[in-house]
Structure 1
């Protein structure tokens, strides 16, 4: 499908990567771009329609669907981090519950809610923003990585569930992105505008998975090797 002429809804679009996707959709000629966010107050950007949505709140999601009942392309971008020491940290369970509610259950909730809307269009799609951390164990990101691994698995199940209605589902995997959420990390980061552009190109090319950076490409390739990246992570840090 083409972004041009589509009607796009992006969660977590008030800043960072979500805002980059919203701006890129507008630049590519989307007919309408809904920028989903928890608080719409103070958001004012030409060409973007702010919509209140809290992906952890079923009533909020339902209200957003009613407001954006013409969507043809959904971008599930909303997500949170949550750091711990490692997998044995006493707070792993507590942090994981909060992270999963957004990064996994939020994707499930929003995807299920918009699926009937997307079914109305001959060309419709979903892009789920995932992470290299699905495959790479980063100790301080344990809850985040596990939540993204769950979201990746759900994305694959969702693709099968929506195949009959003709809705394309794209999994976008990316490492650190240069946003305010990663400002304190002195590590290589992808430009959010580049990530959005690559994601939309992948959708238009008919790809089911988009691996944004070289590290993600090597990690995915390693999964079938004798020493996959999740067993020998040191070369990928």
Structure 2
């Protein structure tokens, strides 16, 4: 589909990758952009429709679907990372990551699927992560939630195919946002990642490998776990 003339809703639109999506959608000629954030006043972009939305709140999600009944593209970008380990970390933090990174996109997609169908099918884009395919010490909760988001993407692609909804998954390593602040490693810019995601919506691609790290990690999925993690450790300089 073409984004020029489209109506799009972006979650987590007040900063980072979400803010980059908003700006690029405006550049590509989207007719209307709903910029969703927990605090609508934190959305600074001009020419958009801010909408208060906590993706973990089912009532707010349903209200957003009623208020934005003209949406043709849903971009599930909102996410968190608490740095919580699965064995020793706080259970509430683990559940918060799963609620935001998996159940949030699930609730949004379920609520907006009828809207997309009524408006011709449209598209859903999920911002996932290369950490959907591996994990590291301290990243257990985040990786588990993103692995679930990966399967959510595959499942909704199959389930929504009959109504003509195109579903895209975006995977990447580090992005130059607050979430990766202080990590001394190469990072892709939010604009480059968002641009690749929008390209996929327009081209019909189902998956975006947004940087070399995502490509590298996916290339090892056929390996046995021991070999796969040895390869990742070597690439991280930890071998």
Q: Classify the TM-score, shorter chain.
A: over 0.9
The number of equivalent residue pairs is 235
TM-score normalized by the length of structure 1: 0.94
Task: Tell me what 2:53 maps to.
Answer: 53
Distance 2:165 2:125 in 1: 11
Q: CA deviation at 1:138?
A: 1.7
Q: CA deviation at 1:42?
A: 4.9
8 Å Cα contact 1:137/1:230 also seen in 2: no
Residues 47-196 of structure 1 aligned to structure 2 (within 5 Å)? 47-84=47-84, 86-91=85-90, 93-196=91-194
String of CA shifts for 1:33-76, please: whole Å, max 9, x gaps: 11001111253422211011111111111111122110000000
8 Å Cα contact 1:87/1:139 also seen in 2: no
TM-score normalized by the length of structure 2: 0.93
8 Å Cα contact 1:137/1:233 also seen in 2: no
Q: Which runs of 5+ in 1 are unaligned?
A: none
Distance 1:73 1:129 in 2: 14
Q: Which runs of 5+ in 2 are unaligned?
A: none
Q: CA deviation at 1:184?
A: 2.0
Distance 1:226 1:98 in 2: 31
Partner secondary structure for residue 170 of structure 1 = strand
Partner secondary structure for residue 228 of structure 2 = coil
Is 1:22 matched with 2:22? yes
Aligned CA-pair RMSD: 1.6
Distance 2:42 2:50 in 1: 10
String of CA shifts for 1:1-36, please: whole Å, max 9, x gaps: 111111100000011110101111111111111100
Distance 1:155 1:207 in 2: 13
Q: CA deviation at 1:171?
A: 0.5
